[in-house]
């Protein structure tokens, strides 16, 4: 399909009538799932309202943003919002556990912990420490 459409691109645009449509509902097909429209249905907005209420109710409390295994394909959905909230909520802290992409924004490096190890092993170690503490 791409090979047929590519020669028809003019000035970096594909004519609207050539944009492929879904056989199911006629909506425009998008390449990959990187746009916010991919997630934004009724349920998304309901959950987003709950999240916003929670954050408003607890913004002055200590908040931990824990990111585990999120890759670099869609940072705008989890990673970048976590970074922004950590930057603006002064009682917050950000932890990123990722064996390949443990990173943070330079604006919050002093309130970030990066763990570049296997998530399963990290959680086993945390669990063992909790059990050890409970037995003391």
Can you read off the two tokens belonging to residue 66? 């824990």
CA-closest candidate to residue 85, choices 115, 62, 69, 114: 62
Q: Is the pLDDT of residue 34 over 60?
A: no
Which runs of E-coded beta strand occur in 28-135? Answer: 63-68, 92-97, 112-115
Percentage helix, strand, coil for the chain under 3-state DSSP, each rounded to 5: 45, 15, 40
Residue 31 inside a domain? The answer is no
CA atoms within 13 A on the CB side of 44: 7
> Could you tell me if 20 and 58 are in contact, meaning their C-beta atoms sit under 8 angstroms apart?
no
- Say if 118 falls within a structural domain: yes
Which tops the pLDDT comparison, 68 or 16?
68
Choice among 38-52, 55-69, 99-113 with the minimum mean pLDDT: 38-52
* More confident site: 136 or 87: 87
Judged against a pLDDT cut of 90, whether residue 80 lies above it is answered with yes
Q: What is the mean pLDDT of residues 67-91?
A: 92
Range of weakest confidence among 24-38, 46-60, 118-132: 24-38
**Residue 104 forms part of a structural domain:** yes
* Better-predicted residue by pLDDT, 105 or 26: 105
For residue 72, tell me if it sits in a domain.
yes
pLDDT of 37 reads 59
96 domain-assigned? yes
pLDDT above 70 as % of the chain:
93
Max Cα separation, the chain? Answer: 71
The confidence score (pLDDT) of residue 73 equals: 81
Q: How confident is the model at residue 38 (pLDDT cuts 50, 70, 90)?
A: low
78 lies in a domain? yes
For residue 84, what are the domain limits? 61-135
Our count of domains for the chain comes to 1
CB 94 within 8 A of CB 101: no
- Judge whether 2 lies within some domain: no
For the segment 117-134, the average pLDDT, to the nearest whole number, is 95
Report the mean per-residue pLDDT for the chain. Answer: 90
Q: Please check whether residue 25 lies inside any domain of the structure.
A: no
């Amino acid at each position: 399909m791409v090979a047929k459409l590519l020669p028809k691109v003019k000035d970096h645009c594909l004519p609207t009538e050539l944009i492929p449509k879904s056989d199911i509902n006629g909506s425009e097909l998008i390449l990959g799932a990187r746009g916010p429209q991919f997630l934004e249905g009724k349920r998304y907005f309901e959950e987003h309202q709950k999240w916003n209420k929670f954050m408003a109710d607890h913004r002055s409390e200590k908040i931990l943003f824990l990111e585990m295994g999120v890759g670099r394909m869609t940072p705008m959905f989890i990673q970048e919002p976590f970074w922004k909230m950590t930057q603006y909520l002064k009682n917050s802290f950000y932890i990123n556990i990722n064996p390949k992409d443990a990173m943070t924004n330079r604006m919050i490096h002093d309130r970030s912990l990066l763990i570049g190890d296997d998530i399963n092993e990290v959680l086993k170690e945390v669990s063992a420490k909790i059990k050890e503490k409970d037995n003391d």
